[in-house]
Structure 1
Amino acid sequence: MTRGKSLSADAEPGGLDVALAGRRGDFTIDAAFAAPARGVTALFGPSGSGKTSILRAIAGLTRLDGRVLVAGQTWQDGSHFLPTHRRALGYVFQEASLFSHLTVDCNLVYGARRSTGGVDAAMRRQVIDLLSLDRLMSRAIADLSGGERQRVAIGRAILSRPRLLLMDEPLSGLDHRAKDEILPFLERLAASLDLPILYVSHDLAEIERLADRIVVIADGHVRASGPLNAALTDIGLGLVRDPRAAAVLPARVVSFSEEDGLAELDLGGQRVFVDGSGPEEIGLERRLRIVASDVSLARAPLAVSTILNILRVEILAIEPGGRADLAILLAVDGAPDLTFMAKVTRRSAARLSLAPGDRLHAQIKSVSLATSAMPRSR
């Protein structure tokens, strides 16, 4: 986890390298970060922290000093500044911004027809399948739900053949039902697209499902930048104090039980069980979301319990989590890079005499382990 410094030396070839500074009214922006050549990098922070201003500057819609390099191409550096229409980017706004007089199909290919090479038939088919748009193609925009409109807007952005996809809180205007409908599509896109995606949100639950890296923004500055779970479990950043604090860890499916519908996953050499969809998942990598408040600790595993997931762990650190509880940073035994949190009361911690270095058993309910597809390895 890198704290508030220029990351140009860490930029991956073919990825994104950003260093922007300037004023927007009374607001000062000074932000530098890098992102890999594919996968989702989240810009996270509270409303008004400067996330959208940074995104718009990367798109060339807002002029700030500094540099923007994408896939080896300089979009901005010193006196050189490419206008937005010459930047190979796709931009998904909070509102779908579709053409109401055109059908879904015409909206979908609108940008592609104006891009170099025109409409790619194979890519069009892939986007239609990924976003399940087939039955909507002849529909009018007015006949679509909010979630369907956003799926069309995302598809249109992808078909414009961008080198970078920018998404500015694309779910903020949707109700919970529509969000739940579209999130699986975004997960599939994140795992399938071979380009970097910058995803702006102030909703940590969205980021936990979609991102594999995070840039934490506060008052126009980068507080930290790096792998998602490093930020989620970084006590200094304070995300662990959120009542919904969670960790997101990679695990591989090793078996599936037709009898009880549970998938068995390997997490750092130990086993966890979650709801599975079938044997076709065997060998795939999944994201495990472990909610800190759903983790309990014991000196020894319970002899008889309904809890299936009991992991051997080591305490790395103990910090105040609130007035009555503590945040316990844990590492999976034998896999020190796999870290997650437990929230326990101060009384419980004192009763067990918990201290850094202790080796314990973490008990996690199966239902609290939410799985989704991991991005393909880069």
Structure 2
Amino acid sequence: MTQPTHRKRFGSIVLVAVLALVLTTLVGSPAEAKPRKGKDKVSYGTTSWVAGTQGYSIKGKLSGRKGRKVQLQIKWADGWHTIDKAKTKKKGKFTITGNLDWYGAHKVRVFAPRSKGSRAKVFKAKSFKIAVPWTPRGSKSSYLRMNYKGVNFQWDPCKTIKYRVNPGYAGEPAIAFTQQAVELLERATGFRTKYVGTTTSVPIDRKPFQKGTDMVIAWSNQTDYADLVQAVGVGGPGSLKPARRKSNNKVVLEIKRPGVTMNMAYAGLYPFAFDDPATETYGLVLIHELGHAFGLEHFADNIQVMHPGDRPPSETGYHAWYEAGDLAGLKAQGAQGGCLKPYRNRGRYSAIDLTNIPDFMRE
């Protein structure tokens, strides 16, 4: 069997896949309230850690009736978004604990909405710094975002990515394996994901997903799909639709059905693992294709995961983790840019011909 020229990238119009960073339901920015002096207080506790090693533990005290709502919020380009909630207990005390594994520095604050007999209260924001568990290689400028005529592709971070796995030729172990890759994507982008079960769908066949599914990752074989021949995997953003960013009204092409199809015909060449001392793995291919699914193009720096061909190993071998350019690109594609809103104008983008965007790009 001839070794493949590596991965294909599944382009735009009709494809399909993942990520619930521990961010809970996102909520629009509340009316701003100025900090005021008084008995109210908050302690943010530890605000810096390595992703996956610990979480936040925030304690405070708030005036007003017992059971008053308290929100933990994070700052995006379009304002503050709620990521966790709690209620005051005896003497107005509250505790908010949870996980924040989103790589990078983020402004976080505690906010208490207006309640009966109490004004809204906002505590001074803190910077939370979440470190990457490895040392990313290469330059932060080594990435390229997908675009069509200068219009970037973008997932709406205010929507949870509901994804399914088709274990297919890889069997049941593919479910947990895929979830692990999606978690890595979550940590790099800040997107929320939710695994909603298995499926028989295969993104590369361009058929609709079942109701309530945003993304599918399928483990198939080139014996079933000729488009997989000479590709370890294909991935892409699926159907696209004009939208605007709420923060600056800029037009983007919203990613609607991201997806990845992996080719198990090369199981003899690519270990079903995330790390290997001697060769690239299916895990490395999978996170590459997930990068395509959420708007990253190929890039020439062969150290980066988004490089289209063979890449050199690190000192300890091959690892399925994003490098410096990949992380910078996923951050640019990620949640910090803020939510999207419908494109309601009758401008040139309302009639954009998305059929001109190629379905696939061979590596």
Q: Which category describes the TM-score, using the shorter chain as reference length?
A: under 0.3
Return the structure number with greater helix share.
1
More strand by share: 1
Give the structure-1-normalised TM-score: 0.23
More contact order relative to length (CA 8 Å, sep ≥ 6):
2
